[in-house]
Amino acid sequence: MSVITVENISKHYIIDHKRGKGTNSLRDAITGTVKGWFGSSEATDDVTHEEFWALRDVNFTVEQGDRVGIVGHNGAGKSTLLKILSKIVEPTSGSVRIKGRVASLLEVGTGFHPELTGRENIYLNGSLLGMRRDEIRKAFDEIVSFAGVERFLDTPVKRYSSGMYVRLGFAISAHLNPEIMIVDEVLAVGDADFQKKSLGKMRDSSASGRTILFVSHNLTAVQALCNKTLYFEKGQLLEQGETNQVVASYLSKVSRTRLRREWDTPEEAPGNDLVRVHRMELIPDYPAGTTHIDVRTPMRVKFEFWSMMDRANLNLSLHLYSLTGECIFNVGSESTAYGKGLIQGECTIPGYFLNDGTYTISVMIVKDTVTPLYNMEEGITFDVEDFREGVAWYGKWPGYVRPQFPFRVQALEPIIDVR
């Protein structure tokens, strides 16, 4: 039985670009037309409109008990789709039919009020997510122990650590009992332990026939949880089907190597008033006889940026992500005082360190070791090819890293055959 039927759903936005200052002020409306408030907004002279299709002609059905992963780049329309299914956003055209009670988890701890205690927030959040009070009361103890906040039940959540906050938020939603559950990127928060626990909880609930729609950048999580996957690109549903197939084709489409990015002047460079990126480059030191990066290749990441500040303590923080969005490592440079000007940083990644795969590098410029000034996200993308010798096995080498640690094996004593 199909529980969700999506037919020709489109969502269209009009982005107003206004000349001069003053966006969306009453003055504009008065000088424009009053009609605009009641119907769709009318154009005033100094406004140019840009059309934007967040979703275009999307069709799919979801069967009962399916666990559907939704993947795609930022801005592909995944979140818009979830918001339409959750009745938060109205589609421009098309229709959706949903059979069953829906709970949407677009954020952990929706509506949590910082001043209220954990106990009060459980009731608040639970009823916002559609639980009745007696349902919450019944699940209350379980929620509290799942979140591990027994001692802080009567403490305002503003005094909670961010971990406790997230755990409590998730614990509530995990005890919802809807037929269909819509989940957006909640795993992006919380530590590894928590992610494992919540993924497990979702898998359990789907075993009992619940339908799950799950958006995530973490492809590993999608593969672990979902049996079907939808792949969105620029508002369109490019591909749907078995998770492994769709994820594989998603990976093959997104994998592209970009080793160098450069901007000539601060005006056109990405950044802000404080810092601008000049250049980001990955320089492989190819061992003799090789022409592409493989697991042996040592690399240097060169990063240059302009600082517009007269004097500031700055350091760089380099993150390396796998294609599935997991952070493999984070290296920080030492914080040093710099004046206005061009600053260069270089980080070396040794050979025999990364396993084969596709990686992206982000570099963050940090002030006083705490304030991120700018994060150059996904600046560099590169593939590491496989290389092995003296091994007759050609399966995928497991793991994120591929170090060659000293591994000594020796014969200690022979077994003497006493026949």
Partner 1 sequence: MRIHEVTIQAGRPERYYWRDLWQSRELLYILSVRDISVRYKQTALGASWSLIRPLATMLVMAFVFSVVAKLRPDPGVPYSLMVLAGITIWTFFSNAFTQISSSITSNANLVTKVYFPRLLMPLSAVAVSLVDFLIALFLFVVIAIVYKFVPDWHILLMPLFVALALLAAFAFGLFFAVINVRFRDVAQLIPFLVQVGFYACPIAYSSAQVSGTWYEKYYIMNPMVGIIDGFRWSLLGGRTHLNPQSLVYSVAISLVCLLLSVIFFRKRESTFVDDI
Q: Is the Cβ of residue 106 or residue 283 nearer to partner 1 in the bound state?
A: 106
The three-class DSSP label of residue 323 is: coil
CA gap 178, 212 in Å, rounded: 10
Burial class (CB in 10 A: 0-12, 13-18, 19+), 36: middle
Nearer to partner 1, 59 or 95 (CB): 95
Beta carbon of residue 119, minimum distance to partner 1 (angstroms, whole number): 11
Write the DSSP assignment of 251-287 as a string of letters.
Answer: HHHH---B-EEE-SSTTTSSB-SSEEEEEEEEEE-PP
Distance between CA atoms of 416 and 359, rounded to whole angstroms?
Answer: 51
8 A C-beta contact, residue 212 and residue 67: yes
CA distance 58 to 237: 6
CB of 180 to partner 1, least distance (A): 10
Least distance CB 236 / partner 1 (angstroms): 18
CA–CA distance, 185 with 108 (Å, rounded to integer): 9
Cβ distance to partner 1 smaller for residue 209 or 414: 209
CB of 121 to partner 1, least distance (A): 9
Closer CB to partner 1, residue 125 or residue 362? 125
- Distance of closest approach, residue 138 Cβ to partner 1, in angstroms: 15
**Closer to partner 1 by Cβ: residue 26 or 391:** 26
Distance CA(182)–CA(204), nearest Å, equals: 15
Cα 231 from Cα 237, distance rounded (Å): 6
CB of 14 to partner 1, least distance (A): 10
Tell me the closest approach of the beta carbon of residue 178 to partner 1, in angstroms. 9
Nearest-approach distance from CB 294 to partner 1, in angstroms = 45
Q: How far is the CB of 254 from partner 1 (least distance, A)?
A: 28
Q: Which long-range contacts (CB under 8 A, 24 or more apart) does 309-312 make?
A: 309/274, 309/275, 309/340, 310/339, 310/340, 311/337, 311/338, 311/339, 312/274, 312/337, 312/338, 312/367, 312/368
Q: Give the SS3 label for residue 151.
A: helix
109-136 as b/e: b if 16+ CB within 10 A: beebeeebebbbbbbbbbeebebeeeeb
Question: How far from chain centre, in Å, is Cα 221?
Answer: 11
Q: Which is nearer to partner 1, 119 or 302 (by Cβ)?
A: 119
Q: Dmax of the chain from CA atoms?
A: 107
Least Å from the CB of residue 229 to partner 1: 22
Q: Which residues bind partner 1 (CB under 8 A)?
A: 13, 24-27, 29, 37-38, 83-102, 104, 106-107, 110-111, 113, 115-116, 120, 123-124, 127-129, 132-133, 156, 179
**Nearer CB in complex with partner 1: 80/307:** 80
Q: Closest CB to partner 1 among 38 and 405? A: 38
Q: Which is nearer to partner 1, 127 or 358 (CB)?
A: 127
Query: In this structure, what DSSP letter does residue 207 have?
Result: H
Whichever of 92 and 333 has its CB closer to partner 1, that residue is 92
Least distance to partner 1, CB of residue 9, Å: 9
Of 263, 233, 396, nearest to 342 by C-alpha is 263
Q: Which is nearer to partner 1, 85 or 318 (CB)?
A: 85
367 contacts: CB under 8 Å, gap ≥ 6:
274, 312, 313, 314, 373
